[in-house]
Amino acid sequence: MIVTNIETVPGKAIVKHLGLVSGNTVRSKHAGRDLMAGLKNIFGGELKGYTELLTESRQEAVQRMIDQATAVGANAIVNVRFSTSSVAAGAAELYAYGTAVVVE
Amino acid sequence: MVDLIFFLVLLLLGYVFGQRAEKRHFRSIIEREKQLRDILVFSERRIPDEDKLDGTLVCGSVVVSVDFFKRFVANLRNLVGGRVSAYESLLERARREAILRMKEEARRTGAKSVWNIRLETSSIYKGAQQSIGAVEVLAYGTAVKPR
């Protein structure tokens, strides 16, 4: 599966468009991480726990998008975009979407 | 009285550690930017000569927290309005770090340039009462290498 965030796949012609595919995941942080983050809020600096959590969740959202694209018979996804929104206190939704295509 | 002392201690801790962390972070950013200078980043969508290239998506993200001192300064600034430079440097740091991580991933894939870069910023809150002030910056783009 080739994933790009431009309109084309470099070096390959798009044969067929298969429409929008997307993947999402909603994650919350566990109490231990929140405690550490609370401490870090006094001293400042990077919240490594959160960075890891969000990176993992984003990979999962991308994986779900890829699964969906495979299910419709695509071999590439173009024009991928990410979006993050906080649904409720302590939980965030990570969303990835793009256009599933068949390239030669 | 005890509350006031506690508050001042927190403020001092935030100032000392926050400023030190920020200086150290900026030094490391400048250092790594020099190392990764050969990877070019464009916000342009069209890639010239793209039929000789292979592309793949690369991402980099970082979550940076505000410190107690910065938050206090920003709250004061809220009263009179104007530039909140305490937060400006925080966001600049986060953005440059995210771009650097994206470049590092591009280098791992063997790419020489990254196209159509997008930056996305979102804030993280735990809740109104015990709010955690932190900002996440995500940078993503299409890394290309000759096939």
Pick the closest to residue A98 from A2, A1, A35, A5 (CA basis). Answer: A5
CB pairs under 8 A between A and B: 140
Q: Total structural domains in chain A? A: 1
Domains of chain B by range and CATH? 2-146 (3.30.110.70)
Residue type, A46: E
Chain B residue numbers touching A54 (CB-CB < 8 A): 61, 63, 136
A-proximal residues of B, 24-63, CB under 8 Å: 25, 45-47, 50-57, 59, 61-63
d(CA A1, CA A69): 9
B12: its two tokens: 């001092």
* Residue A90 contacts B where some CB pair is shorter than 8 Å: yes
Q: Which range of residues forms the domain containing residue A76?
A: 2-103
**SS3 (DSSP) at A73:** coil
Supply φ then ψ for residue A44, to 5 degrees.
Answer: 80, 175
Residue type, B103: K
A69-96: average pLDDT: 87
Chain A residue numbers touching B57 (CB-CB < 8 A): 3-5, 80
CATH number at residue A68: 3.30.110.70
Higher pLDDT, B32 or B1: B32
B138: its two tokens: 């995500």
User: Given the structure tokens 């001192």, which residue do they identify?
Assistant: B69
Which ipTM did the prediction report? Answer: 0.85
Q: Which residues contact A104 (CB under 8 A, 6 or more apart)?
A: A12, A13, A15
Tens of pLDDT, residues A27-77? 876 666 667 777 777 788 888 888 888 899 999 999 999 999 999 999 999
Q: What does DSSP say about strands A14-28 and A91-103: parallel, antiparallel, or unpaired? A: antiparallel
d(CA A29, CA A49): 9
B121-140: average pLDDT: 75
Pick the closest to residue A82 from B61, B28, B99 (CA basis). Answer: B61
Interface test with A, best of B72, B75, B100, B126 (most A CBs within 10 A): B126
Tens of pLDDT, residues B35-66? 999 999 999 888 888 788 888 999 999 999 88
- For residue A6, what is the DSSP state? S
Contact A34, B124 (CB under 8 A): no
**Strand extents, DSSP E, chain B:** 40-41, 53-65, 113-124, 134-146
A93: enclosing H helix or E strand: strand A91-103
